[in-house]
Amino acid sequence: MAVILLQSPKGGTGTTFLAAQLALHLAGKGYEVNALDCTFQDSLKMHFGFMPAQAVPEWGAGGGEPLVAFGVSVMQGHGQSRSAAFAARVDREFERMFDPGHIWIVDVASEDRHLLELLMPRCVLHICPLLPTAASLATLNRLSETAPAMKLDRTVFVLNQLDDRQKLSRHSHSFVRDLFGDQLLATIRRDEAVNEALARFELISKYAPPSAALQDLRLFADAVEERIGLKPAPGEANIEVTGDA
Amino acid sequence: MRRDARKLLEKLNRKDFAYREFEDRFSETELWPIFAAVLGDQKVVGDDAARLPVRQVQQDERPAPAARTSQPQAAPNQIFAQYGAPQRRAAPKNNVDLKEFFNRFSELD
């Protein structure tokens, strides 16, 4: 089992986008993947082609069958994770809640420190998206109350929306890379195809196969796979992310 | 046009595309105060932080200009190699020496 948290102390850094893309790419490699949206925004589903008005079944508690798209089961966990009994359930029956046969990609809202701290000791990886902006870099000191960002063994960074045309973006890339070393897991180039694909409720791989960001996302998924030592998926990929080879 | 860019165009069967290499001259490389602030923050780098006050870093720790050496032409498939999985230099994770860090940072594009 692998529970992977995606959370950034700064909102708007692409956490939901990266959670969805990681789920899609890991499913494309043949893994059984669940994507759990623990945010109020409820926008994770859009990255799998579901409409904003489409209800996503609540995780557990008889919420019904999850939505499944491109090999990923999508569930809504916002209500459940904020319930009074949730922390006790996590302590008592974590493996029952997070089916060990699956990879769980959990999208945690930027302000939800409680959920982050609750799940952090039990996750294999915490992915913190950053932007090459001052506002994003300034929140690096908000990652943990107990340890500095550089000493968080399970936390890695993804620098999102890189744009080499912008000086601060280039310099931020160099800065983060040198500061965090292999804690910087991947970089994703800024690419309007990402936004346009989402507006069409299409996969980037279908809407814009040559997308620069798509290439970076593939490397991001590879890096996660290597980082947490995932065993090769047992069978053939259950969904091919076309244009992504 | 760089040779590697021309080769890439040939591979793509295109005659042209908007291409520009964004490279900073040293005079344009700035030691952004936000970087110094991050490096001086114990909640980011731990006990190695704040060896020098941030203001002193800004004023005194500007590195000497780095000599530029000619770089070998990158192969077409290397043009974008800096993205995705980052190529890394030795990381100063264990001990953050601000002077050394900024010296190295100044050598970057």
CA-CA distance, A26 to A234, in Å (whole number)? 12
- Which of A96-100, A167-171, A234-238, B80-84 comes out lowest in average pLDDT? A234-238
Domain boundaries, chain B: 3-64+78-106
What Cα–Cα distance (Å) separates residue A154 from each residue in A2, A108, A137, A146, A168? 12, 15, 19, 14, 28
CB contact under 8 A, B35 and A175: yes
CB contact under 8 A, A212 and B85: no
A127 neighbors A185 (Cβ within 8 angstroms): yes
CA-CA distance, B83 to A51, in Å (whole number)? 32
Q: What domains are defined for chain A?
A: 2-227 (3.40.50.300)
Find how far residue A223's CA is from the centre of its chain: 13
Q: Which of residues 11-50 of A touch B (CB under 8 A)?
A: none
User: In 3-state terms, what secondary structure has residue A68?
Assistant: strand
Identify all chain B residues contacting A167, using CB atoms and an 8 Å cutoff.
24, 28, 30
User: In 3-state terms, what secondary structure has residue A41?
Assistant: coil
pLDDT tens profile A134-154: 999 999 999 999 999 999 999
Q: Which H, E and C letters describe chain B, residue by residue?
A: CCHHHHHHHHHHCCCCCCCCCCCCCHHHCCCCHHHHHHHCCHHHHHHHCCCCCHHHHHHHCCCCCCCCCCCCCCCHHHCCCCCECCCCCCCCCCCCCHHHHHHHHHCCC
Q: Any chain A CB within 8 A of the CB of B19? A: no
pLDDT tens profile A92-125: 999 999 999 999 999 999 999 999 999 999 999 9
Disruptive mutation site among A175, A184, A187, A192 for chain B (greatest number of B CBs within 10 Å): A175
Question: Residue B15 has what pLDDT?
Answer: 78
CB contact under 8 A, B84 and A219: yes
Q: Is the pLDDT of residue A21 over 80?
A: yes
Question: Residue B52 has what pLDDT?
Answer: 47
Question: Where are the strands (E) in chain A, listed by range?
Answer: 2-6, 33-38, 67-69, 72-76, 103-108, 125-130, 155-162, 184-189
Average pLDDT over chain A reads 92
Mean pLDDT, rounded, for A185-197 = 97
CA-CA distance, A162 to A212, in Å (whole number)? 11
